[in-house]
Amino acid sequence: MKGFKLVSWYMRPIFLDNYKYEPGKLFTEDALPSSGTRGFHFTTELWRVYTTVSEYCWRRVFHVTAVGAVDEAMDIYSTNGILFGAEMQPEEVIRQMLDEYRKLPVNDPNQSRLAVRVYLRGLWRSANATDEAIGKYLRFGARIGKDTHDWRRQWRDAFLKLAENNELLQRTVQGPLGEWAP
């Protein structure tokens, strides 16, 4: 089963530090997976990887393949074996989220289309956040380094490039940063 995994900037799981992930490497656990508590979590829809993190999601997204047993709970999957593929670049992430947005039903009772707009807005805000705002969300007072500045520049550039021909992204980048302009 193929999907997407979100990891911290430092290639660690978002909530645990047991692993340091590497592209092309297989990670396994001996226990059976449980989407609530155990295993390597991933999603099959890219926009869902942003449902469990803060809006300052300067995180890295990877293509992954589940190679062990798989458990599912509320569209989040867990496996006891995961193979990391290539890292997705900002432009690829945005394009994929827009493609998924177009495929979602307009009158979805779960408001998935709204969720995608909110996550895109959060990514745009993250790319434009000040060092002080980002510092509040970094663990253990880590320093804001060149990598963080480069990351924000890459995301800003990707948004602005793609917004030229996309109305949803135009509204995202033109609206005030403090609120979502529908």
The count of other CB atoms within 10 Å of the CB of residue 123 is: 24
99 plus 75 within the same structural domain? no
Judge contact between 15 and 37, C-beta under 8 A. no
| 154 and 110 in a common domain | yes
- The reply to whether 146 and 160 lie within a common domain is yes
Please check the confidence at residue 5 and state whether its pLDDT lies above 80: yes
46 in a structural domain: yes
- Which domain does 38 fall in, by range? 2-87
> Which pLDDT value is given to residue 132?
60
Say if residue 80 is in the same domain as residue 102: no
Question: Helix (H) and strand (E) counts for the chain?
Answer: 5, 7
| Alpha carbon distance 109, 74 (integer Å) | 15
Q: What local confidence, expressed as pLDDT, does residue 178 receive?
A: 44
For 146-155, the pLDDT digits (tens) are 566 677 778 7
Q: Which two tokens stand for residue 107?
A: 């009158």
Q: Considering only CA atoms, give the Rg of the chain.
A: 17
SS3 string of 129-168? CCHHHHHCCCHHHCCCCHHHHHHHHHHHHHHHHHHCCCHH
Amino acid 180: pLDDT? 41
CB 79 within 8 A of CB 40: yes
Query: Which contiguous run of DSSP H or E holds residue 37?
Result: none
Residue 133: pLDDT band with limits 50, 70, 90: low
Quick one: 9 and 81 in the same domain? yes
- pLDDT tens-place string over residues 113-124: 777 877 787 777
Question: Has residue 145 been placed in a domain?
Answer: yes
Question: Which among 55, 87, 119 is the end of a domain?
Answer: 87
- What's the total number of domains in the chain? 2
Last residue of a domain, one of 87, 118, 137: 87
Q: What residues pair up with 6 in beta bridges, in sequence order?
A: 61
Residue 180 belongs to some domain of the structure: no
